[in-house]
């Protein structure tokens, strides 16, 4: 009898530990900014299908190119042109480089990551 009581106590303790560990798990927020794509549908702007967490800085020809959209980065790599409404920051980089931003959101994210640089 004494042995069965020990089994019951050990089992109860094991279940309590396992359930306690499971309840301590938390969801982590993505470390990268979330970018949602929009498209025109019947003359209205509606959310697109793709949501991406991305941030890219590419140094090329003494300029820094900043992207938060993998699609925009891929298009730039193919054509060499920034689509949409890019922003140029002359002397905006940490060493006075020109920084080419894919968008205003890309500039805001750059500013967050490089506190105090630019402007």
**Between 88 and 15, whose confidence is greater?**
88
The pLDDT value given to residue 11: 59
Q: Do 100 and 91 form a contact (C-beta atoms < 8 A)?
A: no
Q: Determine the pLDDT at residue 114.
A: 86
Distance separating alpha carbons of residues 41 and 52, to the nearest angstrom: 21
Specify the pLDDT at position 3. Answer: 54
Measured CA to CA in angstroms, residue 45 lies from 11, 38, 48, 102 at distances of 57, 6, 9, 20
Give the pLDDT confidence of 50-102 residue by residue, as tens digits: 555 688 999 999 999 999 988 899 999 999 888 888 999 999 999 999 999 99
Q: Quote the pLDDT of residue 22.
A: 45
Neighbouring CB atoms inside 10 A of 87's CB total 17
Q: Which carries the bigger pLDDT value, residue 101 or residue 2?
A: 101
- SS3 assignment, position 10: helix
β 63-67/98-101 pair status: parallel
CA distance 91 to 98: 5
pTM to 2 decimal places: 0.56
């Amino acid at each position: 009898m004494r042995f069965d009581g020990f089994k019951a106590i050990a089992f109860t303790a094991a279940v309590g530990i396992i359930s306690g560990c499971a309840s301590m798990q938390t969801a982590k927020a993505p470390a990268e900014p979330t970018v949602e794509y929009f498209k025109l549908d019947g003359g209205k702007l509606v959310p697109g299908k793709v949501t991406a967490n991305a941030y890219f800085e590419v140094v090329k020809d003494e300029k820094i190119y900043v992207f938060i959209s993998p699609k925009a980065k891929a298009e730039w790599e193919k054509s060499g042109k920034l689509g949409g409404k890019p922003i140029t920051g002359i002397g905006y980089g940490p060493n006075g480089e020109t920084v080419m931003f894919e968008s205003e959101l890309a500039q805001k994210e750059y500013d967050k990551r490089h506190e105090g640089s630019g402007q």
